[in-house]
Amino acid sequence: MKTKFFSVIILAVLFTCKPSSTLLENEYEITVNTEGVYNGLRAYLKTTEAGSRAVTIDTSIVMNGTFKMKGTSDGSQMRALTIDGVLGKLVFILEPGEIFIEAYKDSLGASKVSGTYNNTVFEAFKTQNRIISDEIGGIRKKYLESSNDPELQKALRKRGDSLRKVNKNFGVEFALAYPDSDFSLLLLENMTARSGFDVELISDAFENLDETMVSKNASNILIANKIKTKIEAALNVPLKIGDLAPDFTAPTPEGQQITMSKIKGKVTIIDFWASWCKPCRIENPNLVNVYNKYHDKGLEIISVALDRENKKDLWTQAIQQDQLNWYNVSNLKFWNDPIAKAYNVNSIPATFIINEKGIIIADRLRGAELETKIEKLLN
């Protein structure tokens, strides 16, 4: 279904864009046909930034069923058009070029926009999204009307679930289909402004965007940086008890690659430390004591050292001095260690206790608290 949807949209975009030849490079001209709207009514062009009060950036007067607005734009931004006495508002993309709007006096939001590439893409997005939403609504209505037909309701539920999944991922799929469109960048900005967005899907779509489009002007660079910040923040959500511990592979001092999921015991302590970390070195004797007591009962320890690349000797010396006779690994990348990033570790010592299924069952325990927890788990 996705392929069919987007092939139709692509054809629509190819055959409806109207190149501008009369304006300067950064100029726009909006021509609005307002058939049925009274002469003398004022129209407003407004900002639409989420969480900010709308600011009027231009106005015009309806005369003989039409009006125009003209100005300059350094990039593509979402803007809103309103008209006194006309219901609703029309959101479109303000960008250099000739923009044509067929305004519907009964519902301004349903008006049609054409002329520039990104507005044509935006119209295709709205059209297809409306098709999916209308079908979901139709299924909901049929479901309510078929209470005496369980088999039909079952089929309707299945179709509804499938469409809701399509609808949920539609924005990402659309951005993937149009990597050269400023609208795709604006769409991803809007999606990352919502809480709980799918960071992996958004990341894929963002990485797929055309680099020349992302960096072509200051506005796009600013939006791209906002998206990057949102993605990075989402990726750094702290792990919590009950989460599956991120698996990892890292080298031992001898260069052997160790994979956590292949060597974990009934209970495993993942210990983040460093040879230069005084609190870590003070805690190490407690870890040694716990390991010696409970290793035969199924305890494993994997110590991940956040040492620097040119300090490997200090790392290996600390292992010997502190008698850390368990699995020791390090990428020797200091705070840029990928394992530390995966576990959102920003201070050490830091411990994560996982069970044999790889689920985190406790974290940040030290001293007597750590030993008491291990005792309860293995005795």
Q: Where are the alpha helices (DSSP H) in the chain?
A: 2-16, 117-145, 150-177, 182-192, 199-208, 211-214, 218-235, 260-263, 278-294, 312-322, 338-342, 367-378
Task: Report pLDDT for 84.
Answer: 95
The answer to whether residue 360 scores a pLDDT higher than 80 is yes
Sheet with 56-61: strands ordered across? 56-61, 42-47, 77-83, 90-94
Task: Report pLDDT for 21.
Answer: 56
Burial of 50 (0-12, 13-18, 19+ CB in 10 A): exposed
- Segment 9-38 shows an average pLDDT of 72
Rounded-to-integer distance, Cα 131 and Cα 279, Å:
60
Task: Report pLDDT for 138.
Answer: 92
Q: Which residue has the higher pLDDT, 2 or 161?
A: 161
98-141 confidence digits (pLDDT tens)? 999 999 999 899 999 999 999 999 999 999 989 988 999 999 99
Residue 292: CB atoms within 10 A of its CB come to: 12
Rounded-to-integer distance, Cα 71 and Cα 88, Å:
24
> CB-based contacts of 132: which residues, under 8 Å, 6+ apart?
163, 166, 167, 170
Average pLDDT score over the chain: 90
Nearest Cα to 342, choosing from 306, 297, 372? Answer: 306
| Pair 113, 92: CB distance under 8 Å | yes
Nearest Cα to 234, choosing from 211, 202, 208? Answer: 202
pTM of the model: 0.60
Residue 47's DSSP bridge partners are: 79
191-225 confidence digits (pLDDT tens)? 988 877 888 889 999 999 999 999 998 889 999 99
Residue 348: CB atoms within 10 A of its CB come to: 20
50-87 confidence digits (pLDDT tens)? 667 889 999 999 999 999 999 999 889 999 999 999 99
Ordered structural domains, the chain, with CATH: 18-115 (2.60.40), 179-237 (no CATH), 249-378 (3.40.30.10)
Rounded-to-integer distance, Cα 64 and Cα 73, Å:
27
Q: Which residue has the higher pLDDT, 6 or 247?
A: 247
Q: Which residue has the higher pLDDT, 264 or 293?
A: 293
Banded pLDDT at 49 (limits 50, 70, 90)? confident
Task: Report pLDDT for 294.
Answer: 96
> CB-based contacts of 182: which residues, under 8 Å, 6+ apart?
75, 76, 93, 95, 118, 213, 220
> CB-based contacts of 366: which residues, under 8 Å, 6+ apart?
283, 286, 349, 351
Banded pLDDT at 6 (limits 50, 70, 90)? low
Rounded-to-integer distance, Cα 300 and Cα 173, Å:
44
Map tokens 């009514």 to a residue.
41
The answer to whether residue 227 scores a pLDDT higher than 60 is yes
The answer to whether residue 259 scores a pLDDT higher than 90 is yes
